Amino acid sequence: MTITEPGTQSAEDNTNAVPTPTDNLNDHKPNGFGRMLRKEDPRLVRGRGQFCDDVQVPGMLHLAILRSPMAHARIVSIDKSAAEAHPKVKAVVTGADLAEHNLAWMPTLSNDVQAVLATDKVRFQHQEVAFVVAEDRYSARDALELIDVEYEWLDPVIDVRQALAPDAPVIRDDLEGKTDNHCFDWEAGSKDDTEAVFADARENGIVVTEDIVYPRVHPAPMETCGCVADLDPVSGKLTLWSTTQAPHAHRTVYALVAGLPEHKIRIIAPDIGGGFGNKVPIYPGYVCSIVASLLIGKPVKWMEDRTENLVSTGFARDYIMRGEIAATKEGKIRAIRTEVLADHGAFNGTAAPVKYPAGFFGVFTGSYDIEAAYAHMSAVYTNKAPGGVAYACSFRITEAVYLVERMVDVLAYDLEMDPAELRLQNFIQPEQFPYESKTGWVYDSGDYEPTMRKALDMAGYAELRAEQEEKRSRGELMGIGISFFTEAVGAGPRKDMDILGLGMADGCELRVHPTGKAVVRLSVKTQGQGHETTFAQIIAQEIGIPPDDIDVVHGDTDNTPFGLGTYGSRSTPVSGAAAALVARKVRDKAQIIASGMLEASVADLEYEAGTFRVKGDPEQSVTIQDIAMRAHGAGDLPEGIEGGLEAQICYNPENLTYPFGAYICVVDVDPGTAEVKVRRFVAVDDCGTQINPMIVEGQVHGGLADGVGMALMEMISFDEEGNCLAGSLMDYLIPTAMEVPDWETGHTVTPSPHHPIGAKGIGESATVGSPPAIVNAVVDALKPYGIRHADMPLTPSRVWEAMQGNHTPPI
């Protein structure tokens, strides 16, 4: 498949494009968009990637962190003498030591502060208390056992519903004048307009209300977080190999926190073993490693173990929501309202644009054309690990989509309507785009009904309903769940969106070498999404240099232009646009040089796939490779044109992009054991123009498995003393190949009108869209029990309780 203009991409499915050994797909190299094997794979399948823990620097020492056993306690004393006496230990550092250098606290990405090492008290279980640097990793951990900390127990705040009680212990007494656990309040939409519609609906229509919990989950990438800090004592330059999705943003934050001059900081994000948002924040371990290297004058490595990753790094979700829909009796949705209680843990470590403390939760009105909407949120501190935005959520759109898609099913239940029909009759219509939602979001483009119909066709919806009816008559529990989501991704326009004052734009630089090969440098960083392939394809599409002739450089702040990094599905919407535009800039210059070479005016040339031709005389042509040599060669160039063929830009998106999709899940619930089996999952996504359908499909698949995990298995839970009960992969269950079905995917193509190649982003669509489809399917299976709602995770015991009429929220 090759396409030139947005809108012309074939919408045929790639579901069945499973290669066989006789296909020679290695030879299938599109000079632009299309299925292309990944450029990163040859090294990764040979075990020759370089992940953070693979980095070895001569003289490197190892750092390990001592963590608090309690959720809330005052630190009475720390005796580190025994640890310091360990023969292999080089340093033992506590919060008090850091405080002497004014480094005990650091800013979070939400303008809060977080302790690097606790000084006064610990505020969540496993909070960082001290670190040891030793000659090898085993000794560093041995020495942790030798540190003696005396704690004085303080009552913790674990039940989020009690966090604002007048007698609740105050967690953040480090903040001046803080007398409660309130973090922030946020609202969107019109309270009065919404209440007016609800009042009318209570009289003349229907109002449904449901309490919905999105429990705390964790992204748990297979590679944990870590770094190697190497601060050269002579030059003063810090090189930090780090598991970061946002190397440039991290560099600036380190400059601000540690007072290091920014040109003396080089962040290298090597191969990253999955990120999903977990590798956006700056964690105390990174700062400790930098401090250690500074103190000792040697390179220092820190790698979390799995428990540390699960219990202390960026969690996700943790919203308690009350959802309400006002509708007519015929099922026209008129207004949506929600009240949210958000648990942000001990520090507000959310990574979201500063003006959006609730992320993009404001898109909770979903894909529906309604009269009014209102949301109010209270966010609170509790004695739990900090975080909040992580795990492929597109800045809280997971929560928003789950709320609205669960609520629409609740409405369908009460109206006894088919959930597919109910959605179809409420969609925003194609002619309404660009559509401004009642909470102020401008949806760029959409055509929802064909996507929905395609999913229904692929699933064989009518047959499934017939099968369900027949099974129900035999007492079998089969459920069919639908969700239809719209996301807002690609943050974002710098007039509205910044993180710690850094505008959310992204740079891109392209240099074409004399022989017509090229290097493109990106500000974003892949964690498995395949940027080395797709960005080469974008350049190829625009200037006709084959992707294999284009080197993609990323993840090294000394060698790439500034930009905010990869999260919130923003690489393609923002950086992908930058890549297309920088290539066009090079193409414009190439055309001027071509005009000199062909002795024709610029306007008389036409461009196609890497070749400029004289209009009407196609024999007269030069290729981009010819032009590259001329640009660097000794020959004449047109008047006023400098030598070289390169360009750099910084792309500031004019709007977000709004991918959407229709998901249908089929489950069977065992009436005897309450075990849920996901039998089928059909996903039809529309992410606009697709750069590489193979990679798009892979992104969707991964997110669907995430959805199964969240809906059925995963939860970071705590006991009432604040002990984290999900500190290992034995306790925090992640789907294996046995829990997920073979995915059935399809797509439609509705390009973004404002994106240079019409692409919208796909990285998080399935993580956002799949949980409601699965939960809706389970609830649908349980319909014979009169169940209208049940909260995730729908483990056998929780489903069993629901079947017995005892369903309780998980928190």
Partner 1 sequence: MEVTMSVNGDDVSQEIEPRTLLVHFIRDHLGLTGTHWGCDTSNCGTCVVWVDDEPVKSCTTLAAMASGHDVRTVEGMEVDGVLDPVQEGFIQCHGLQCGFCTPGMMLTARALLDRNPDPTDGEIREAISGQICRCTGYSTIVRSIQWAAAKERETPVEVGAS
Q: What is the smallest separation between the CB atom of 528 and ligand FES, expressed in angstroms?
A: 5
Q: Say if CB 488 and CB 394 are below 8 A apart.
A: yes
Alpha-carbon distance of 811 to 809, in angstroms, equals 5
Assign 206 to helix, strand or coil.
strand
- Cite the DSSP H helix spans in 117-261: 137-144, 191-204, 247-258
- Pick what 234 binds: ligand FES, partner 1, none; C-beta below 5 to 8 Å, kind-dependent: none
Q: What is the smallest separation between the CB atom of 274 and ligand FES, expressed in angstroms?
A: 5
Nearer to ligand FES, 199 or 222 (CB): 222
x/- track of binding to ligand FES for residues 98-137 (CB under 6 A): ----------------------------------------
Alpha-carbon distance of 695 to 282, in angstroms, equals 29
- Pick what 736 binds: partner 1, ligand FES, none; C-beta below 5 to 8 Å, kind-dependent: partner 1
- Cite the DSSP H helix spans in 115-159: 137-144
Q: What is the smallest separation between the CB atom of 771 and partner 1, expressed in angstroms?
A: 14
Q: What is the smallest separation between the CB atom of 228 and partner 1, expressed in angstroms?
A: 13
Nearer to ligand FES, 220 or 574 (CB): 220
Integer angstrom CA distances of residue 807 from 583, 786, 810:
56, 12, 9
What is the footprint of ligand FES within residues 205-264 (CB under 6 A)?
222
Q: Give, in degrees to the nearest 5, the angle at Cα 609 between 608 and 612.
A: 45
Q: What is the smallest separation between the CB atom of 221 and ligand FES, expressed in angstroms?
A: 7
Q: Say if CB 163 and CB 181 are below 8 A apart.
A: yes
Element (H, E) at 580: helix 577-598
Q: What is the smallest separation between the CB atom of 546 and partner 1, expressed in angstroms?
A: 18
Q: What is the smallest separation between the CB atom of 787 and partner 1, expressed in angstroms?
A: 28
- Pick what 38 binds: partner 1, ligand FES, none; C-beta below 5 to 8 Å, kind-dependent: partner 1
Nearer to ligand FES, 45 or 603 (CB): 45
Q: Is 274 in the site for ligand FES (CB under 6 A)?
A: yes
Alpha-carbon distance of 198 to 205, in angstroms, equals 9
Nearer to partner 1, 522 or 695 (CB): 695
x/- track of binding to ligand FES for residues 563-582 (CB under 6 A): --------------------
**If we measure between CA atoms, which residue out of 616, 588, 587, 586 comes closest to residue 600?**
616
Q: Say if CB 480 and CB 780 are below 8 A apart.
A: yes
Nearer to ligand FES, 32 or 275 (CB): 275
Nearer to partner 1, 307 or 394 (CB): 307
Sign (positive or negative) of CA dihedral 346, 348, 351, 357: positive
- Pick what 685 binds: partner 1, ligand FES, none; C-beta below 5 to 8 Å, kind-dependent: none
- Pick what 646 binds: ligand FES, partner 1, none; C-beta below 5 to 8 Å, kind-dependent: none
Nearer to ligand FES, 299 or 528 (CB): 528
**If we measure between CA atoms, which residue out of 219, 264, 272 comes closest to residue 239?**
264
Q: What is the smallest separation between the CB atom of 629 and ligand FES, expressed in angstroms?
A: 40
Which two tokens mark 134?
A: 């030793």
Burial class from Cβ neighbours inside 10 Å (0-12, 13-18, 19+) for residue 576 reads: buried
Alpha-carbon distance of 685 to 446, in angstroms, equals 12
Nearer to partner 1, 45 or 634 (CB): 45
Nearer to partner 1, 575 or 767 (CB): 767
Element (H, E) at 578: helix 577-598
Element (H, E) at 608: strand 605-608
x/- track of binding to ligand FES for residues 443-462 (CB under 6 A): --------------------
Q: Say if CB 168 and CB 162 are below 8 A apart.
A: yes
Which amino acid type is present at position 173?
Answer: D
Q: What is the smallest separation between the CB atom of 222 and ligand FES, expressed in angstroms?
A: 4
Q: Are strands 676-686 and 128-134 parallel, antiparallel or unpaired?
A: unpaired
Which two tokens mark 514?
A: 């004399």
- Pick what 71 binds: ligand FES, partner 1, none; C-beta below 5 to 8 Å, kind-dependent: none
Binding residues for ligand FES, total number by CB under 6 A: 3
Nearer to partner 1, 602 or 734 (CB): 734
- The residue whose Cβ lies closest to ligand FES is 222
Assign 319 to helix, strand or coil.
strand
27 C-beta neighbours (distance < 10 Å), count:
7
Nearer to ligand FES, 44 or 199 (CB): 44
Q: What is the smallest separation between the CB atom of 532 and ligand FES, expressed in angstroms?
A: 15
Give the CA radius of gyration of the chain. 27
Provide the Cα torsion 411, 414, 417, 422; round to 10°: -10
- Pick what 46 binds: ligand FES, partner 1, none; C-beta below 5 to 8 Å, kind-dependent: partner 1
Which two tokens mark 744?
A: 């059935």
DSSP annotation of 381 reads -
Nearer to ligand FES, 97 or 714 (CB): 714
Q: Say if CB 148 and CB 78 are below 8 A apart.
A: yes
Which amino acid type is present at position 435?
Answer: Y
- Pick what 607 binds: ligand FES, partner 1, none; C-beta below 5 to 8 Å, kind-dependent: none
Q: Which residue reads 């003393």 in tokens?
A: 721
- Pick what 644 binds: ligand FES, partner 1, none; C-beta below 5 to 8 Å, kind-dependent: none
**If we measure between CA atoms, which residue out of 86, 85, 156 comes closest to residue 122?**
156
Q: What is the smallest separation between the CB atom of 220 and ligand FES, expressed in angstroms?
A: 10
Q: What is the smallest separation between the CB atom of 305 and ligand FES, expressed in angstroms?
A: 10
Nearer to partner 1, 603 or 737 (CB): 737
Q: What is the smallest separation between the CB atom of 288 and partner 1, expressed in angstroms?
A: 20
Nearer to partner 1, 526 or 557 (CB): 526
Nearer to ligand FES, 302 or 435 (CB): 302
- Pick what 409 binds: ligand FES, partner 1, none; C-beta below 5 to 8 Å, kind-dependent: none
- Any residues with CB less than 8 A from the CB of 46 and at least 6 apart, and which? none
Which two tokens mark 624?
A: 């981009």
Q: What is the smallest separation between the CB atom of 337 and partner 1, expressed in angstroms?
A: 35
Q: Is 728 in the site for ligand FES (CB under 6 A)?
A: no
244 C-beta neighbours (distance < 10 Å), count:
32
Binding site residues, partner 1, CB under 8 A: 18-23, 25-26, 37-38, 40-42, 44-51, 53-54, 56, 137-138, 219-224, 271-274, 276, 305-307, 527-530, 694-695, 697-698, 700-706, 728-730, 734-738, 740, 742-743
Return phi, psi of residue 79, to 5°. -110, 110
Identify the residue among 357, 528, 544, 659 touching ligand FES (CB under 6 A).
Answer: 528
Strand segments, DSSP code E, in 68-167 are 73-79, 89-94, 105-107, 113-115, 121-122, 128-134, 148-153
Q: What is the smallest separation between the CB atom of 803 and partner 1, expressed in angstroms?
A: 27
Which chain residues interact with ligand FES by CB under 6 A? 222, 274, 528
